[in-house]
Chain A
Amino acid sequence: MEFKFIAAADIHLDSPLQGLSLYEGAPLDVLRGATREALGNLVSLAIGEKVAFVLLSGDLYDGDWKDYHTGLFLLQQLSRLREAGIKSYVIYGNHDAESRITRSLRLPDNVRVLSTKSPETIILEDFGVAIHGQGFARRDVMENLAEQYPEARKGLFNIGMLHTALSGAEGHAPYAPCTLGTLQSKGYDVWALGHVHARKVHSKEPLIWYPGNTQGRHARETGPKGCTLVAVEDGRVASFEHRDLHVVRWEVIPVNVSGQSAAVDVVDAAVAAMKSESGKGGGEVLAVRLVIEGACRAHRELVAYSEKWTAEIRVAVAAATGERAWVEKVRFMTSPEADFSILRSGSDPLSDLVRYIDGLSATDELRALLAEDIRSLKEKLPPELFQGEGAVAPDSADELPKLVEDVKAMLVRRISTSGVRK
């Protein structure tokens, strides 16, 4: 008996991509609708590969998203599978449990949503397969769901579907926690997991893995994104391979500009790095955070006028890639080529200023200087700006040192170039 199936998870349909400020030349259209297109790619792949069935291990959409059109779009895509005679098996994740759309959506008859009350087993006689799974009944499932899963069915190919924060998964809410040991103990052939967005194989025998999400949504979800195509022969996994589905590929690209003397050369280096990166993929749109590093003479200019140079880089990248790349951020992590101010212990005002700022990092004095402005911003700007991932939190322990460095560079550069020219 030979067949293939696809496992995917964390589609987060219609979840917006984050951290991208609009600017002239940014590839706007591709971006708006990326998660939808990725799902479309998933369905096309399943049809093209003539798979037996598709497994979706939770988080079809964002929990707080209320537009029913999103559900309807999901239906349309699943209906394409139905026309091709492909069944799909779904377990709800924490987001689905929270979503109002989930409750209203009537899925086509080729889609089977597994119970959220207890583990459910479905036998596919045609393929000799048993699928075990239980979805989230509510958002914050804290118990170990895996423990209640039944033992493997003898003589069948056993698949476990689970939306879980497998122990050691950093940066994800610890829902339905479990350990690798628990999963291995069930005697299943494969475990198709969901919840963690980074693709990772935790065990090969049995195969336990996260296929990762289908489309990266911010600068921490980098690299190609998609699903896993598994081939089964004679009740054993014959092969499994990742397939790209993403429309936009996120990358964090370091650009070494050591020794560059002029800021324009740094722009060129950034463009070169971008070109090389875009050559690596399949021609998809890139969303990129550029990290400019290295000791260079342009350091002060870059840091003091980072806004200007970020804009320059964006324009140049747009021109060089034919508007096929979105520069999310440019982080200037450069250092001065020869730091005179370190050499000098002088008592001139500039040295004094530098010493003062250096001593200011993460002190209450610094927080006091910032407090009033932060407060007035918070009063006027949307609260979302100061919450959650990528929030504006200048007075946090993480952000303060960078903030102070930036201010230092800005002041030193501006003072150095102010006043009369001699």
Chain B
Amino acid sequence: MRLISLDLTAYGNFTDRRLVFPGGKGLHVIYGPNEAGKSTCIRALRGLLYGIPEITPDDFLHESRRLRIGGVLLRSDGERLSVVRRKGRKDTLLGSDGQPIAEDTMRSFLGGVDRETFIRVFGMSREELLSGGRAIMEGKGSVGESLFAAGLGGADLKGLLEALELEAQGLFKPTGSLPKLNAEAKTYKDLKEKIRNLSLPPKDWEELEREVSSLEAHSRQIKDQIAQMSAQEDRLKRLRDALPVIAELKEYREKRTGLGKVKVLRQGFSTERARSQSENTRALSDEKTAQQRIGEIDAELENLILPEDLLAQEKTVQGLVEELGSILKAQKDLPRVQGQVLEAGQAARGILAELRPDLSLESAGVLRLTVERIDKIRSLADGYGKLTVRRQSAAERVSEYGQKLADAKRNLAGLPEVRDVSELERSVVVVRRRGDLERAYADATFAARSAREDVQATLKALLLWSGTLEALESLPLPPEKTIDEFEEAFDVVDDGLRKAREGLAGTKGKIEEIDGNLRTLKLAGEPPTEEDLTAARAHRERGWALVRSAWLDGKRDEAAEAALDPPLPLEQAYEKSVLNADGVADRMRREAERVAHKAGLLADRRLQEERAEDVSREIGLLEARRKDLKEEWTSRWAPAGVVPISPREMRAWMVNLKELTRKAAEVRKLDGQAKKIAEEIEGSRSVLLDRLAALGGPTPPERTSLDAILLRAEEIVRSEKDLKVRREGLLKEIEEAIKGKARAEEEERKVNEAFARWQEGWATALKGISEGLPVSAAAVFLDRCSALSKKLDDAEKDKGRIESMKQDIREFEKKVAKFTARYAPDLAGLPVDQGVREVSSRVSKAKADAASRAKLSVERASRKRDLDKARETIRQTSERLAALRREAGSETDGELLEAEARSESARSLEGKIDELTRQLLVLAAGRKLEEFAGEAEREDPDQIRQKLAEVETNLAEAQEEFGRVRQNLGASSERLRTMDGRGDAARAAQEAQETLSSLGENADRYLRLRLGAKILQVEIERYREKSQGPVLRRAAELFGLVTERRFVGLEPDYGAGDEPVLVGVRENGEKVALAGMSDGTQDQLYLALRLASLEKFSADGEPLPLLVDDALVNFDNDRARASLKVLGDLAATTQVIFFTHHQHMVHLAKEAVDGQILYIQEIVETRGRE
């Protein structure tokens, strides 16, 4: 399929943009700068063919549902298809009439290539070439993986296989506990264990149930026993308790019999008798007391006499007493009030004299002022002060503003004009922004100097070489490899020497040791040697010859005899020689070992000496070799003028030297920096000086520092600014002073008007009273007027009071005289106050006497009642006592008491007998009393106690046993209760099932991942075997073309692990492994493989357009050109659309590709609609 046209009707930043591909043939280069929409075009083409993805970056301009891509496609059989693609979920492919078209129609144009395959196989980008090349490299050029990946359009096989492996390992590892399956297997095992622990074996339950019922039976049995024993214990206890009761009962019965027949008096008899007697006695005493008191009262009553009429006037008398108080007071007040009237008149007269001496006291009423008038005068007087102040202040402000205005004008005239310093200020800012340049310069020069000094010092201290820093940097030094070689060579020689010398020393040591041993042997007596023996024997033979000659032949050789062993004669000498020879032989036999040792030592010594000689020779040779080596070593350093020491030290020296070299470079850099700053300072200075000069004024001296100039400039800027501010301030002051003065003058006018109005009001207010009164006296005047009015009022009021008091006194005196005349005539003639007091006291006494009489009458009645009551009681008690005596059959009171005592004894005994009988009945517990008592009496008290102790012991034991059994039963029952059919084990089993199920899922997953990885590996290998021939051959040709025949072939070879790998072949037959190729060449190798695969793919089916997205950017011009030519060739079978940002690619394409098949069009951004 070929693309005839692509309509970007509404897509990305395009609106109604059309790209045309005439005839669908050839290489189409589409050029556009960055952002022009190249990537959008590629997405649009894919969208057209396969639909616009759900999420697209291309709907920012056109609404998602309005996106439209159109196009015309041409199939290899000549069929054409004109379609429009919209975004959506269904029916997104439309015909030119806007009606939906079946997706199958499009599919028939795509030759069975799905979206992913189209993107991978028919799309090629720079990133793909890079990562493809890298992938081949990482796979060490594995033929299989390379071919497979290139065939797929650049799949990351290595990453894919690793991901599969990683996922599988997350699920399971044959050894391990963390992966899911391992962990779950452990969980499952734990759960099985849990089920086992939670399960209740039927046997356990059966046993426990048996145990519980047996315990229950036992418990019942013990309980019965306890009941029996308790009954026995009870009986014994009752018998024991009954015995003392029976004994006591017997005793009381005997005592009662002893009392004989007794009249037992009724209950409460004695009490009744005693009460009657005491009541009788008390009543007699009461009677006497009452009679006495009645007599006394009657005597008192006779002495009391009452004035009844006066007593009836009690209220009147009380009224007179009260009135008398006020009359007495009036009499006392009268003279004081009369005095007050005189005083007030005097005072009024005084005041009037002050105010208006012209007026009399009678006509003083004119000075009683109305409230309204007082108020008017007072407010006018108050207003006067304020008005005066206002007038004054207005006048002051007028003059103040006048002064201010004059001052400001004078000051302004004294200030100079402002100069324009904005240029200077800008320059200052610019320079300031550069920072403290002079300090930076000082720092930089310091750094440079100290670095230089440092380096110089180090250089001076550097051994073996001296010279300048500059010379140092270009010193012709031998390469490090040479040092390594020499070091090794020296090491070999030195090592040999060391070993040889050690050998020599060892050998010499051994010789000394042997000599020492020999000396020791000698010290122990030189053992005879074979030579000694031979000598001794020879000596003996010589003697024997002399003896024999003398003895058998009779020949004597005097001289020889004498010489044999002088000075011994022959016989002795011979004898000695025989002894001596035997002695030597004997010693030799005896000391054979020492002899052998000595012989051995001597042989050894000889050997060591030979060895020492050999080693000495070797040392000589090595020393000669070392000398040669050293000369050669020294010669290598000659060009640098260095006399080297050992290579190892020289290596360290070289390191120092390199460090020095590095530092020297640093010094250069620091110098440069300092120089740069100096230039900047000079530039800044000249600018600032120019600006200053332009402003006029004094020029700073030649050597002034930048900082000083800056400060100076800033000072000027600041002072000019200050000046401006001051001038503006003064102008403002003048303006304000003018305005203020006008305001003050207006105020002055207004105040004068108000003052005139006030003067008029004041005259009106005082008219007729005190015309011409000064304002300051107004307050005093008003005060005095008010005081005068008050005094006049006071005098009037007091005169009225005097009259009414006199009237009251007269009336009271009349009233008193009338009363005394009637009720106390003896008092007539007494002064009124005494008379009233006497009458009052008489009434009081009469009242007291009346109260006493009433009280005595009441008491007398009460006493009379007491008397009557006592007499009645005496009668009744006497009768009762008589009746009691009769009841007891006694004549006298003495007899009565005796009868009572006998009755009491009998009653007490009978009570005790009853009580004991009751006790016995309780103990008998229902049995007949006689029977029980008989049984008890038959028992021996001591035996009862013993039996009881026995029974109690048995009972305690039984109860203890019972407690134990109940406890066991309780525990067992509790355990049985927990066996309640709970579902814990079943729940655990369910959990185990869940784990098992999860295990199953994960195991399935694991096997799929593992199988997937294995299949993929097998397939890669299979694909290699199949495609190696044709694809690799074609790839080799293409590789030759794109590398411009730097490589002529591509072959499978074998790697370190015998696996097939790719190698490039040069024209001279040299094979180059991937590692030996440059990155670019690797990319080109990938491109070759990729295009070869693509050709094969296209040959097998409907070829689709190949979209190349700036893939060749990293190639050099020659190879890019070559690659473009290859693409041009490819265009004969497969449409190639080549997108690029780079203008030079367009030129290269023009150079490389036949103009007949090359189409170039440009896209530019067309953002937005009109």
- Identify the A interface with B (CB < 8 A): 14, 16-22, 31-33, 35-36, 65-76, 100-101, 103-105, 261-262, 307, 328-329, 338, 340-350, 352-353, 356-357, 360, 369-370, 373-374, 376-377, 379-382, 384-385, 390-392, 394, 403, 406-407, 410-411, 414-422
Contact = CB atoms under 8 A, between A and B. Distances in A.
Interface of B: 42, 54, 89, 103-104, 107, 110-114, 116-117, 119-121, 123-125, 127-128, 131-132, 147-149, 151-157, 159-160, 163-164, 172, 174, 181-182, 185, 188-189, 192, 195, 198-206, 979-987, 989-1001, 1003-1012, 1014-1016, 1018-1019, 1022-1023, 1026-1027, 1093, 1096-1097, 1100-1101, 1107, 1109
B1011 A403 contact: yes
B998 A21 contact: yes
Contacts of A369: 1011, 1014-1015, 1018
Contacts of A104: 202-203, 205-206
Contact of A411 (B203, B979, B987, B1015): B1015
Contacts of A65: 989
A72 B979 contact: yes
A380 B1011 CA distance: 19
Nearest to A340: B114
A322 to B, nearest CB: 21
Contacts of B123: 422
A391 B999 CA distance: 11
A420 B1022 CA distance: 24
A391 B1000 CA distance: 8
A346 B131 contact: no
A385 B151 CA distance: 42
Contacts of B980: 69, 72, 76
A31 B119 CA distance: 49
A70 B131 contact: no
Given A416-B117, A419-B149, A420-B128, 12 more contacts: A69-B984, A100-B201, A105-B202, A345-B1101, A352-B1022, A356-B1022, A357-B1015, A370-B1010, A370-B1011, A382-B189, A392-B1000, A416-B120
Contacts of B149: 419
15 contacts: A16-B989, A16-B993, A67-B198, A67-B986, A70-B986, A72-B200, A338-B104, A345-B1101, A347-B1097, A353-B1019, A360-B1015, A369-B1015, A391-B1000, A394-B1003, A407-B1008
A101 B206 CA distance: 11
Given A338-B103, A381-B1003, A33 B121 contact: no
B1016 A32 contact: no
Given A69-B983, A261-B89, A419 B152 contact: yes
A348 B117 contact: yes
A418 B104 CA distance: 27
B997 A20 contact: yes
B202 A68 contact: yes
A343 B1097 contact: no
Contacts of A374: 1007
B981 A377 contact: no
Nearest to A342: B112
Given A20-B994, A349-B1019, A382 B202 contact: no
Contact of A14 (B160, B986, B1093): B986
A283 to B, nearest CB: 22
Contacts of A31: 990
Contacts of B111: 343-344
A385 B996 contact: yes
B1086 to A, nearest CB: 12
Contact of B990 (A17, A67, A356, A416): A17
| 3 A-B pairs with the lowest CB-CB distances in the bound complex, closest first | A343-B112, A72-B981, A344-B112
B162 to A, nearest CB: 11
B152 A349 contact: yes
Nearest to A369: B1014
Contacts of B188: 382
A16 B1016 contact: no
A390 B151 contact: no
A419 B156 contact: yes
A340 B127 contact: no
Nearest to A413: B116
A381 B160 contact: no
B1015 A14 contact: no
Contact of A33 (B163, B172, B200, B983): B983
Contact of B995 (A22, A356, A390): A22
B1101 A344 contact: yes
B152 to A, nearest CB: 5
Contacts of A18: 993, 996-997
A337 to B, nearest CB: 9
Given A344-B1101, A345-B1101, A14 B989 contact: yes
Contacts of A360: 1015
B1097 A382 contact: no
Given A22-B994, A394-B1004, A69 B985 contact: yes
A33 B986 contact: yes
Contacts of B203: 104
Contacts of B983: 14, 32-33, 36, 69-70, 73
A248 B1007 CA distance: 32
Nearest to B1017: A369
A16 B202 contact: no
B1003 A347 contact: no
A71 B1022 contact: no
A73 B155 contact: no
A301 to B, nearest CB: 11
Nearest to B129: A420
Contacts of A307: 1005
Contacts of B990: 16-17, 31-33
A384 B160 contact: no
A422 B202 contact: no
A16 B128 contact: no
Contacts of B1027: 347
B103 to A, nearest CB: 7
B974 to A, nearest CB: 16
B1006 A373 contact: yes
Contacts of B998: 21-22
Given A377-B1007, A382-B996, A67 B985 contact: yes
Contacts of B155: 415, 418-419
A385 B125 contact: no
A394 B1007 CA distance: 8
B1096 A347 contact: yes
A422 B121 CA distance: 10
Contact of A376 (B103, B174, B195): B174
B827 to A, nearest CB: 121
B114 A66 contact: no
Contacts of A20: 993-994, 997
B1026 A352 contact: yes
A403 B200 contact: no
Given A32-B990, A33-B987, A19 B997 contact: yes
A349 to B, nearest CB: 4
B152 A348 contact: yes
A61 to B, nearest CB: 10
Most chain A beta-carbon contacts within 10 A, residue among B42, B116, B127, B1009: B116
Nearest to B147: A349
Given A104-B202, A407-B1015, A420-B127, A350 B1007 contact: no
A265 to B, nearest CB: 9
Contact of B987 (A32, A379, A391, A420): A32
Nearest to A336: B114
Given A33-B987, A340-B113, A419 B131 contact: yes
B1011 A70 contact: no
A40 to B, nearest CB: 12
Contacts of B1026: 352
A158 to B, nearest CB: 35
Contacts of A379: 174
Contacts of B152: 348-350, 415, 419
Contacts of A381: 181, 185, 999, 1003
